[in-house]
Structure 1
Amino acid sequence: METALGTVKSFDPATSARTFRIALSELGEIGWFPNFVSEISRTAPQVQIHSVALETERTEQWLQSGYVDVAISSQVLSNNFERTAIKEQTFSIVMSHRHALAKDEFTVSKYAEASRVLLAGDSSLEALLEAEKRAGIFSTPRIIIQRYATLMPLLEQHPTLLAVIPTSMAHGWAKKFPIVVHQLPFDMEAFRLFVYMRTQTHDVSGLKWFYDAVTKSTLVYPTLFEAIGSNEHRARQEGQS
């Protein structure tokens, strides 16, 4: 009955002041959230958008309960949720152009012996560790951080370090910062990212509108991953001038 009523109830983005909530990782918020605001503001200037930090162990519960309306995640959730695949994400090595291995061809042994930074807060962590084990790499990372925003200034200040990050982000950074990008010397399965919509309730038309706007923003607009760390880099350069 709720679904039937929700289908009949119209949603007018031009006049709505509804609040929508979207669960995003740190990368998702920096790479896509400005695009969401641009796309939604174009037709719905009063709609409010709240970002919620993605917690993978709670994503399904949040969508079921309606705590969030939409989530972007690499998780494969139950068939109860409508979803759209938006991206296949591969991973690459990044390091300062001053790193001793910057111009070398990477091998498994060189990777295993290098001082590495691990992004503990990234959803790809488990997949990276499994890929390392399959390649016979059991050495532990030297540095563990929680946020990508920390990584660029860390690599810049400590050029002996390297890290594994999404390839799209790596090449975005390489256009702006003095870093080099290398392929991984072992196989790591690409991540598929999905936009998920919560189970339908009383306002299907508004929910579907928001889901479609988010999906369009991820597919049509360029991502902004290279913005991560740019302020810190700029401040450091200004301080050195």
Structure 2
Amino acid sequence: MKLSDIDLNLLVVFNQLLREGSVSRTAVALELSQPAVSNALRRLRDLLGDELFLRTPQGMAPTPYAQTLAEPVSQALQGLHHALNVRASFDPATSQRCYTLALTDVGEIYFLPVLMDALAREAPGVTLRCVPVATPALRDDMAGGQVDLALGWLPPVESGFMQQALFRQRYVALMRQGHPLAALPKVGAAAYRRANHVRVVSSGTGHAQVDQALDRLGMTGNVKLSVPHYVALGHVLASADLVATVPERLAERVGEPFHLVARPLTAKLPTSTICQLWHSHLHRDPGHQWLRGRIASLFGHPASA
């Protein structure tokens, strides 16, 4: 007999009859009518070619064949029940789950210190694995389950994906405390053009829109250094009279450790909306819901979320 030949509901009735030894009690336990239980037993007898249960003064007694089926059927149903309900609950305090996050280097600097501190307190067994967000295969990797969540200034949502806005941020001029522009309350266009700059060429992310806006305004003529990542900016700016145009949240994170100051720009630049993005197949996963909820509570802004 092939598994496809049998209705799983018949095995549920069989397993309950073994426990109850009564058609009426089985009907009550399964919330079925007695005729429905009797019909299920008849169908199962026809399929298996055995009486399975015999009426006795003590109730429905299993035949020797039914007894041989009892343990494997019970174990199979328990295993199936566990598999179907394993996602029904999530306990961060005991979970050993590993999440893969796609981040820019700005995201690593801004999100990870706070997130890792929260995990250490609330979910000590949970681990994170980080991969670059600016990869052509990101959407495929998320759809295939290789990446759980992407954070950053991301392209428009495609079919099959969901996202939540966390916060909006502007771009500011970042420099060392002794830089001449640090004495100004705001950095105007003329002063900005005269300054020497370090430029981050962050391809494949939304930050490229800011670079394009600066180019259109003619405000990047004195670029003395171009780097592919933000991660070195703190060290560079702390020891050189250079200005970097960076996301506001990054400036907040690196300002104090490297003795840097941020100043608003009078030039109108695009603002960035930082989101968390996930594939719809994880939308109802309790563990994924918990992680998204913690990120939203740690970093989200009520006006943006």
Does residue 129 (structure 1) correspond to residue 223 (structure 2)? The answer is no
Aligned to 2:190: 109
Task: Answer yes or no: is the 8 Å Cα contact 1:115–1:142 preserved in 2.
Answer: yes
Structure 1 vs Structure 2 CA RMSD:
2.9
Higher relative contact order (CA 8 A, sep 6+): 1
Residues 188/6 of structure 1: CA separation in 2 closer, same or farther (3 Å cut): farther
Query: Sequence identity of aligned pairs in percent?
Result: 22
Match in the other structure for 2:108: 29
Alignment correspondent of 1:16 = 95
Q: Secondary structure at the match of 1:101?
A: helix
Amino acid at match of 1:108: A
Partner of 1:142: 224
Amino acid at match of 1:135: L
Counterpart contact for 2:201–2:208, Cα < 8 Å: no
Aligned residues: 215
Question: After the TM superposition, which residues 38-77 of structure 1 pair with which residues of structure 2 at under 5 Å, given as runs?
Answer: 38-55=117-134, 57-75=136-154, 76-77=156-157
Tell me which protein shows more helix as a share of its residues: 2
Unpaired stretches in structure 2, ≥5 consecutive residues? 1-82
Runs of 4+ off more than 6 Å: 5-8
Aligned 8 A contact 1:117 1:141 in 2: yes
2:144 is aligned with 1:82? no
Q: Following TM superposition, by how much is the alpha carbon of 1:96 offset from its aligned partner in structure 2, in angstroms?
A: 2.1
2:174, 2:262 within 8 Å by CA — same for their partners in 1?
Answer: yes
Matched ranges for 1:148-159 at <5 A: 148-159=230-241
Give distance in 2, aligned partners of 1:202 and 1:7: 16
Normalising by structure 2, what TM-score?
0.61
Amino acid at match of 1:179: L
| TM-superposition CA deviations, 1:149-197 (whole Å, max 9, x none) | 32122122222x1111112332454445443322223111110011112
Change beyond 3 A, Cα 1:200–1:124: closer
What SS does the corresponding residue of 1:49 show, helix, strand or coil?
strand
Shift in alpha-carbon separation, 1:70–1:183, aligned structure 2, 3 A: same
Amino acid at match of 2:107: G
Instruction: Name which one, 1 or 2, has greater alpha-carbon Rg.
Output: 2
TM-score (norm 1): 0.75
